[in-house]
Amino acid sequence: MTNKKVSFWRIFWPSLIAGIVLFIITMIVITGVLGSLLNTKPVYTVENKTILHLKLDGAIGEMGENSIDVANLGVTNTIGLADLQYGFKKAADDKRIKGIFIELKNTRCGYATASELREQIQKFENETDKFVVTYFSGEAVGLRQYYIASAASETYGFHSSMFEFLGLGAELMFYKGLFDKLDLEMQVIRGSNNDFKSAVEPYFLKEASDSSRLQLQTYLDNIWSTVKNNIAENKDISVADLEMIADSGLVRRVAQAANHKMIDKVMYRDEVMQILADKIGAEKVEDLTFKSFEKYSRKKFEDNQNKVHNSKANIAVVVAEGAVVVEGEGLASNKITKLLRKARKDEDIKTIVFRINSPGGSALASDEIWREVKLATEQKKVIVSMGDVAASGGYYIAAPANKIFAQPNTITGSIGVFGVIPYTGAMLENKLGLTFDRISTNPHAVLSTNKKMTPKEYNMVQKEVDLIYKEFLNRVADGRSMSVEEVNEIARGRVWTGEDALNVGLVDTLGGIQDAIAYAAKDAGIEKPVVRYYPKIKKEPWEEILEMVNEENENGNKSAKIIPEELLETYNRIKKIEQMTGIQARLPYEIIW
């Protein structure tokens, strides 16, 4: 057999040419976008008889954000709840705005955020003579989309869209069987009585424990109850009928939803356009003037915050969103502590609203943030507003606050801790033939994943976990004016909905972030609230380009995606796991909205 050598130039030239081609394509795209940007008038205008068009098709975060998705060669757009709330407020007072048209497709958010949007829709219609029309234009209508849309006085849907109204459910995946086949063992250490801290159960069980099943069933039942009751209040249908529909699976298409009075009518989009034209007295559909609600609200919110940050404000809203980490992406303690400190030291700021939307994470980072919240309460009132999730480490940082607001369907509690140390030695030896030997000066000097913990070493880690859990109990007891025993009774890692958390004393009142801001102002004796959000909105020039690219995408000019969205989501979850170091105070589950 002859071994042929591959020429270096046969590898070099194709690689060089491919690189040059990619560079040229990239420059063409950038040049085209820049050219469009330069030829676009930067003046933002709203004409008379304008209808704001809100497309709820994607993720809704606490604050809006445009970012470059390098892996996907596209733009990631997150709609901001703060932007939308401010947009509803300004649109209500804007005489040029006649109404709002909300189109729902793949809306991704938690039920607490959905509730906040519903409240804004209802308030807009109840306090003005303007309208809100909601329309389902996607392949399928999910429960969350319907829950938001049902707040409007008029709701329509596309003929052939599916309609999912089957209740709420959760599916858990357990890895114990796989690990057994691989000879891989996860050495799990939870707080000694943290039987509800079920995040680690998939590592050593093959099905949910009784404790895990109980808490899951309870909070799913509570969220479902809130959803049914709110829908029944807005639509001409009873809670009993909604329950019957879900149990029987009677509504699987939009037409069936209309037959059961869940929506007003089945319509094509052009028919909905005619309804909108009739509402504003337009002679024909072509006379309608639409303006992006997202762009309108973001522009208004950004202008307001730029003005506020350059003048005096009396209320600070510190937004903390994502998994708790020391540094990096998410709710990073090295960033949030600076923001809290800045608000605390600003003499013009009379009160602080701390908005938390987090499943928890690093126990160390949680403690760093807790310290800053505690210091802030010694100088001024701190009011916590919980979003979709404020659990485990997310509750830890809320505990010192003077008052805690949560939505009925907020997920909170999960007061507990855990640690996981994998044992890979048997797998590497049995599957790959790798063996290990150790030399040390002391018995416990080599703590390796390739060496199984001895009972003494396991006990050492257990004591550390218990120590952190005990400190967690003390933090909550101190913040909530309860005894450690009382906190332990409702802790043990258990997850609560906001409504149940109110009953057991973990939160003080039910309401959204606007309720929390209103309370903070009244409590501090502020007659004219001037609200400053942290972190400060910093809009770079290149973000204008991203907005234009995003508008192109909305108009149907989406570039082909190289990596499937599902694969990217999996990759992002792996990145989150890589950030987990030390003992964790984290929600038992990852919730995918």
For the annotated catalytic residues, the residue numbers are: 197, 392
DSSP 8-state secondary structure symbol assigned to residue 483: -
Do residues 457 and 444 make contact, with C-beta atoms less than 8 angstroms apart?
yes
Do residues 301 and 290 make contact, with C-beta atoms less than 8 angstroms apart?
no
Do residues 188 and 204 make contact, with C-beta atoms less than 8 angstroms apart?
yes
Residue type at 14 in one-letter notation:
P
Residue type at 299 in one-letter notation:
K
Do residues 519 and 403 make contact, with C-beta atoms less than 8 angstroms apart?
yes
Range 9-12 contact pairs with CB under 8 angstroms and sequence separation of 24 or more: none
Burial zone of 198 (CB within 10 Å; 0-12 exposed, 13-18 middle, 19+ buried): buried
For helices 455-480 and 363-377, angle between their N-to-C axes, nearest 10 degrees: 20
What radius of gyration do the chain's Cα atoms show?
A: 27
Local structure of 105: helix, strand or coil: strand
Residue with tokens 């009774």: 489
If one counts every other C-beta atom within 10 angstroms of the C-beta of residue 370, the result is: 22
DSSP 8-state secondary structure symbol assigned to residue 39: T
If one counts every other C-beta atom within 10 angstroms of the C-beta of residue 482, the result is: 18
CA distances, 454 to each of 334, 439, 444, 445, 593 (Å): 36, 16, 9, 13, 41
Two structure tokens written together for 117 = 């949007």
Residue with tokens 């704001």: 52
φ/ψ of residue 100, rounded to 5? -130, 130
Q: Distance (Å, rounded) from C-alpha 254 to C-alpha 265?
A: 9
Burial zone of 267 (CB within 10 Å; 0-12 exposed, 13-18 middle, 19+ buried): buried
Local structure of 511: helix, strand or coil: coil
Two structure tokens written together for 110 = 């938690």
Two structure tokens written together for 231 = 């829908």
> Any residues with CB less than 8 A from the CB of 428 and at least 6 apart, and which?
434, 436, 450
Two structure tokens written together for 195 = 């039987």
Q: Distance (Å, rounded) from C-alpha 382 to C-alpha 404?
A: 9
Q: Distance (Å, rounded) from C-alpha 78 to C-alpha 83?
A: 11
Going by C-alpha positions, the residue among 567, 570, 568, 563 that lies closest to residue 590 is 570
φ/ψ of residue 72, rounded to 5? -105, 0
